[in-house]
C-alpha cells in the first residue's frame, strides 16, 4: 500500500499538481483505500502539523531577508565586498559567495538568497564581462550556502519534526557552510583564470573603505545577532528571528532611510505569501507521517538495513545516494519531512550522531536544488540571468561536484559538523 | 466568466492579502512585545503563545488560498511545459477537477474538527482551539471559489479557436 501511495504522489507531482495538493490528494486516496480512518484526519493533521511556536520563526527569517533586499542592504554588502575582492579575476564571483554567506546569516532560504543576490549581482557581472552562464552558475551554487549556514529554514523543519536541538543543528552548519564557500571560491578562481576574465579596475582606497564601512557595518551585525542568540540561548529561535526582523527594519527605515512604509507593507505581504507556500507542505506532511507510521515504514526500512548488513558507513552511503536521487526528482522539503524521521532512529541505532545526520541530510537535499531535472535554483537563474537551462547545466557541474566533495567530507568526518556544536553545548 | 465576477474575486483576494499582511504584522509585534516585556520588565503574558499560534495558523491557511489564486505554490512544471498546448489545457482541467473533492473534504471535515476542538482551549489561554481549526474550512471555501474560477477560464480557453 505504501508503494502505491508514493507512486501516486510522484505521478501527481509529475503531472503538474502543486506539491502540497499532490500530497493531500494522495493521502486522501490512501484513506479511501484503507477504509478504516476518517477524513477528519486530513483536516486535523494539517492544523496540528503547523501548530508550533518554533515554526513561526520561518516567516520571520524570510521577512528579514526580504527587508534586507528591499532596503538595499544586499547592494551595500556587495559594494563593500567588491572593495576588497573586486579587483581579482573572479572578483564578482567572490562577492557573490561573501554576500551569500552574510545573507545566509539572516534569511536561511536558498531560494530567497538566490533571488536577492542574483538580482543585484547578475547585471553587474554581465557589465564587467563575465559570461551569463558563469554568473548564473556561481550565484546558484553559492545560494546553497543559505540553508546550511545558520539560521536555516530546513533545519528548523527537521528540529520541529524530530525533536532535535535546533541550536545544535544551526551550529553544525557553520563549518560545512564555510567549507562550501571555500570550495566554490576555489572552483570560481580556476574557471575565471582558465577563461582569462579581465581584472576590474576596482582600487582599494581608505576613503572609500571608510564610507562603505560606515554604511555596511551595522548591516554586518545582523547575522551576529542571530548566531549569538542561538549560542547564548537567552531567547527562543522564533524570538531570534523577530529580533533580526526588527533590526534590519530599523536599519532600512531609520538609519539608511531606504525603506518606505508602503514598501514595508508590500514586503510583509510577499513574505507571508512565500511562507504560506512552504508551510502548506509542512501541513500536509503531518498526514503523510501518520500514514508512514501506520504502514510501519520505519520498521520495514530497519529490517532492510539489517538484512543488507550495511553497517554505519554503508548506511551513510545508502542514505546519501537515496537523498541525492530523491532530491533530484522531488522538492527537498517534502523528501526531508517524510523520510528524515523514518531514517533517524536507524541512524541513531547504528551510532550516528543525530545532529550530524540532520546536517548532512539538509546539505544533501540542498545540493538537489542544483541538479536536473527539478533543480529550483537552476530555474531561478535561467529567469534572472536569461541563460538556457542546458547551457547552465554545462557550466554548473564543476560546482556541483565540489559541493558533493564537501558533502562526502561532512558525511564521513563527523567532526566537521559536530566540532562547533560540541564546543558550545 | 463575467468581468464583474472576476473583479469581485480580485477585490476579495486583495482583502484577503491585506488581512494576511495585518496578521503578519500583529504576529511580529506580539512576539517583539513578548521579548521586551520578559527581558526588560520581567513580565510574562501567558496569552501570547496561544495568540501567536492562532494568528500563525490563520496566516498560513489564508496564505494557502491566496497563493493558489496567484498560482504561487511550489510545483514541478517540467513535464507540463513540454506538453502540447491542447494536452496541457486538458491536464490543467483534470488537475483542478481532482482538486474539487479534496477541497470539499477540507471544508466538511474541517468544520467537523473545528466543532470538536471548540471544547479544547489553548494551553495558557482560555480561548477554544476550535477558532484556529476554523481556518481550514474557511481556506477550503476560498480554494473552491478560486478552483471554480480557474476551471471556467480553462473551459473558455479550450473553446476559443
β-bridge partners, B75: A18
* A223 band by pLDDT with thresholds 50, 70 and 90: confident
Hey, what's the torsion of the CAs at A209, A135, A325, A296, to 10 degrees?
40
* A141 band by pLDDT with thresholds 50, 70 and 90: very high
**For residue B40, is pLDDT > 70?**
yes
**For residue A34, is pLDDT > 90?**
no
Cell numbers for B149: 474560477
Q: Does A42 touch chain B (CB under 8 A)?
A: yes
Q: Does B106 touch chain A (CB under 8 A)?
A: yes
For residues A395-401, average pLDDT:
95
At A191 the pLDDT is 95
Is the separation of the CB atoms in B54 and A56 below 8 Å? Answer: no
Tell me whether residues A21 and B99 touch, CB distance under 8 A. Answer: yes
When CB atoms are compared, the residue of A13, A40, A242 closest to B31 is A242
For residues A4-9, average pLDDT:
86
Q: Which of residues 324-343 of A touch B (CB under 8 A)?
A: 330-331
Cell numbers for A112: 530567497
Q: Which of residues 150-209 of A touch B (CB under 8 A)?
A: none
Question: Distance (Å) from the C-alpha of residue A371 to the closest C-alpha of chain B?
Answer: 13
Please state the φ and ψ torsions of residue A18, each to the nearest 5 degrees: -65, 155
> Taking the mean position of all CA atoms in its chain, how far away is CA A313?
25
For residues A50-63, average pLDDT:
87
Alpha-carbon distance of A299 to B63, in angstroms, equals 36
Alpha-carbon distance of A159 to A161, in angstroms, equals 6
Cell numbers for A152: 536555516
Q: Is B100 exposed, middle or buried (0-12, 13-18, 19+ CB in 10 A)?
A: middle
Q: How many CA atoms lie within 13 A of A358 on its CB side?
A: 29
> Taking the mean position of all CA atoms in its chain, how far away is CA A83?
27
At B80 the pLDDT is 81
Q: Does B127 touch chain A (CB under 8 A)?
A: no
Using alpha carbons only, what angle is made at residue B5 by residues B4 and B8, rounded to the nearest 5 degrees? 85
Is the separation of the CB atoms in A280 and A20 below 8 Å? Answer: yes
Is the backbone of residue A88 left (phi > 0), alpha (psi -120 to 50) or beta? beta
Give ipTM to 2 decimals: 0.93
Tell me whether residues A40 and B113 touch, CB distance under 8 A. Answer: yes
Q: How many CA atoms lie within 13 A of B141 on its CB side?
A: 10
When CB atoms are compared, the residue of A14, A20, A21 closest to B76 is A14
Tell me whether residues A14 and B136 touch, CB distance under 8 A. Answer: no
**For residue B105, is pLDDT > 80?**
yes
**For residue B1, is pLDDT > 70?**
no
Cell numbers for A310: 550495511
Q: Is B26 exposed, middle or buried (0-12, 13-18, 19+ CB in 10 A)?
A: middle
For residues B130-142, average pLDDT:
96
At A229 the pLDDT is 75
When CB atoms are compared, the residue of B28, B64, B73 closest to A60 is B28
Condensed to tens digits (0 to 9), the pLDDT of residues A123-133 reads 888 888 899 99
H/E element holding B121?
Answer: strand B121-122
Is the separation of the CB atoms in A364 and A323 below 8 Å? Answer: yes
CA distances from A333 to A19, A111, A323 (A): 10, 12, 11
When CB atoms are compared, the residue of B73, B105, B109 closest to A280 is B73
Alpha-carbon distance of A262 to A260, in angstroms, equals 5
DSSP annotation of B124 = T
For residues A145-152, average pLDDT:
88
Closest Cα to residue B99, out of B76, B130, B65?
B65
For residues B145-152, average pLDDT:
95
Is the separation of the CB atoms in B31 and A56 below 8 Å? Answer: yes
Is the separation of the CB atoms in A198 and A129 below 8 Å? Answer: yes
Is the separation of the CB atoms in A81 and A213 below 8 Å? Answer: no
Alpha-carbon distance of A86 to B5, in angstroms, equals 54
Cell numbers for A139: 550565484
Question: Distance (Å) from the C-alpha of residue B65 to the closest C-alpha of chain A?
Answer: 9
Q: Does A386 touch chain B (CB under 8 A)?
A: no
SS3 per residue for chain A? CHHHHHHHHHHHHHHCCEHHHHHHHHHHHHHHHHCCCCCHHHHHHHHHHHCCCHHHHHHHHHHHHHHHHHCCHHHHHHHHHHHHHCCCCCHHHHHHHHHHHHHHCCCCCHHHHHHHHHHHHHHHHHHCCCCHHHHHHHHHHHHCCCCCCCCCHHHHHHHHHHCCCHHHHHHHCHHHHHHHHHHHHHHHHHHHHHHCCCCCCCCCCHHHHHHHHHHHHHHHHHHHHHHHHHHHCCCCHHHHHHHHHHHHHHHHHHHCCCCCHHHHHHHHHHHHHHHHHHHHHHHHHHHHHHHHHHCCHHHHHHHHHHHHCCHHHHHHHHHHHHHHHHHHHCCHHHHHHHHHHHHHHHHHHCCCCHHHHHHHHHHHHHHHHHCCCCCHHHHHHHHHHCCCHHHHHHHHHHHHHHHHHHHHHHHHCCHHHHHHHHHHC
Cβ count within 10 A of residue B30: 18
Alpha-carbon distance of A82 to A139, in angstroms, equals 15
Is the separation of the CB atoms in A394 and A127 below 8 Å? Answer: no
**For residue B76, is pLDDT > 80?**
no
Alpha-carbon distance of A267 to A253, in angstroms, equals 13
**For residue A55, is pLDDT > 90?**
no
For residues A252-275, average pLDDT:
92
Closest Cα to residue A68, out of A275, A276, A277, A255?
A255
Instruction: Looking at mean pLDDT, say which of A56-65, A67-76, B146-155 comes out highest.
Output: B146-155
Question: Distance (Å) from the C-alpha of residue A251 to the closest C-alpha of chain B?
Answer: 16
Average pLDDT, chain A: 87
Is the separation of the CB atoms in A62 and A275 below 8 Å? Answer: yes
Alpha-carbon distance of A191 to A382, in angstroms, equals 20
**For residue A142, is pLDDT > 90?**
yes
Q: Does B43 touch chain A (CB under 8 A)?
A: no
The residue ranking higher by pLDDT, A405 or A214, is A405
At A5 the pLDDT is 83
Q: Does A240 touch chain B (CB under 8 A)?
A: no
β-bridge partners, B128: B121
Residue with cell 560540541: A422
Using an 8 Å CB-CB cutoff, list chain B residues near A268. Answer: 21, 24-25
Condensed to tens digits (0 to 9), the pLDDT of residues A248-260 reads 999 999 998 999 9
Average pLDDT, chain B: 91
**For residue A421, is pLDDT > 70?**
yes
Alpha-carbon distance of A331 to B75, in angstroms, equals 8
* Nearest C-alpha in B relative to A245: B28
**For residue B103, is pLDDT > 90?**
yes
Condensed to tens digits (0 to 9), the pLDDT of residues A317-331 reads 999 998 988 887 777
Amino acid at each position: 500500500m505504501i508503494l502505491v501511495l508514493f507512486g501516486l504522489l510522484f505521478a501527481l507531482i509529475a503531472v503538474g499538481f502543486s506539491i502540497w495538493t499532490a500530497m493531500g490528494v494522495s493521502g486522501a486516496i490512501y484513506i479511501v483505500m484503507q477504509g478504516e480512518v476518517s477524513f477528519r484526519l486530513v483536516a486535523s493533521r494539517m492544523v496540528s502539523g503547523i501548530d508550533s511556536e518554533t515554526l513561526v520563526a520561518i516567516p520571520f527569517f524570510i521577512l528579514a531577508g526580504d527587508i534586507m533586499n528591499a532596503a538595499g542592504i544586499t547592494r551595500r554588502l556587495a559594494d563593500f565586498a567588491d572593495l576588497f575582492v573586486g579587483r581579482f579575476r573572479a572578483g564578482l564571483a567572490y562577492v557573490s559567495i561573501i554576500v551569500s554567506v552574510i545573507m545566509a546569516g539572516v534569511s536561511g532560504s536558498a531560494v530567497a538568497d538566490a533571488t536577492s543576490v542574483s538580482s543585484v549581482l547578475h547585471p553587474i557581472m554581465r557589465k564587467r564581462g563575465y559570461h551569463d552562464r558563469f554568473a548564473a552558475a556561481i550565484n546558484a551554487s553559492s545560494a546553497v550556502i543559505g540553508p546550511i549556514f545558520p539560521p536555516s529554514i530546513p533545519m528548523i523543519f527537521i528540529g520541529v519534526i524530530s525533536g532535535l536541538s535546533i541550536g545544535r543543528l544551526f551550529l553544525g552548519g557553520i563549518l560545512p557552510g564555510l567549507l562550501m564557500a571555500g570550495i566554490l571560491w576555489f572552483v570560481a578562481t580556476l574557471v575565471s583564470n582558465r577563461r582569462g576574465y579581465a581584472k576590474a579596475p576596482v582600487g582599494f582606497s581608505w576613503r572609500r573603505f571608510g564610507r562603505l564601512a560606515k554604511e555596511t557595518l551595522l548591516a554586518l551585525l545582523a547575522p551576529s545577532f542571530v548566531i549569538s542568540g542561538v549560542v547564548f540561548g537567552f531567547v527562543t529561535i522564533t524570538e531570534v528571528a523577530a529580533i533580526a526582523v526588527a533590526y534590519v527594519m530599523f536599519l532600512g527605515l531609520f538609519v539608511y532611510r531606504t525603506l518606505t512604509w508602503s514598501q514595508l507593507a508590500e514586503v510583509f505581504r510577499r513574505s507571508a505569501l512565500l511562507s504560506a507556500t512552504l508551510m502548506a507542505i509542512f501541513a500536509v506532511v503531518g498526514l503523510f507521517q501518520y500514514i508512514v507510521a501506520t504502514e510501519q515504514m520505519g520498521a520495514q526500512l530497519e529490517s532492510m538495513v539489517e538484512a543488507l548488513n550495511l553497517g554505519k558507513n554503508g548506511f551513510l552511503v545508502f542514505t546519501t545516494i537515496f537523498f541525492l536521487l530523491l532530491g533530484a526528482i522531488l522538492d527537498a522539503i517534502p523528501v526531508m519531512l517524510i523520510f528524515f524521521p523514518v531514517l533517524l532512529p536507524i541512524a541513531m541505532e547504528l551510532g550516528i550522531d543525530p545532529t550530524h545526520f540532520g546536517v548532512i541530510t539538509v546539505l544533501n537535499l540542498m545540493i538537489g536544488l542544483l541538479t536536473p531535472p527539478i533543480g529550483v535554483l537552476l530555474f531561478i537563474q535561467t529567469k534572472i540571468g536569461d541563460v538556457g537551462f542546458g547551457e547552465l547545466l554545462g557550466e554548473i557541474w564543476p560546482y556541483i561536484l565540489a559541493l558533493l566533495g564537501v558533502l562526502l567530507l561532512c558525511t564521513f568526518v563527523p567532526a566537521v559538523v559536530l566540532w562547533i556544536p560540541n564546543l558550545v553545548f | 466568466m463575467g468581468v464583474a465576477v472576476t473583479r469581485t474575486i480580485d477585490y476579495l483576494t486583495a482583502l484577503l492579502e491585506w488581512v494576511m499582511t495585518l496578521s503578519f504584522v500583529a504576529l511580529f509585534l506580539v512576539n517583539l512585545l513578548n521579548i521586551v516585556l520578559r527581558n526588560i520588565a520581567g513580565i510574562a503574558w501567558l496569552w501570547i503563545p496561544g495568540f501567536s499560534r492562532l494568528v500563525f495558523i490563520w496566516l498560513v491557511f489564508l496564505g494557502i488560498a491566496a497563493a493558489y489564486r496567484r498560482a504561487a505554490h511550489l510545483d514541478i512544471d517540467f513535464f507540463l511545459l513540454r506538453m502540447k498546448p491542447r494536452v496541457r489545457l486538458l491536464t490543467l482541467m483534470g488537475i483542478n477537477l481532482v482538486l474539487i473533492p479534496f477541497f470539499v473534504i477540507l471544508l466538511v471535515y474541517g468544520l467537523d474538527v473545528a466543532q470538536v476542538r471548540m471544547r479544547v482551549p489553548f494551553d495558557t489561554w482560555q480561548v477554544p482551539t476550535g477558532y484556529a481549526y476554523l481556518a481550514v474550512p474557511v481556506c477550503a471555501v476560498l480554494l473552491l471559489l478560486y478552483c471554480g474560477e480557474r476551471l471556467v477560464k480553462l473551459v473558455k480557453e479550450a473553446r476559443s479557436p
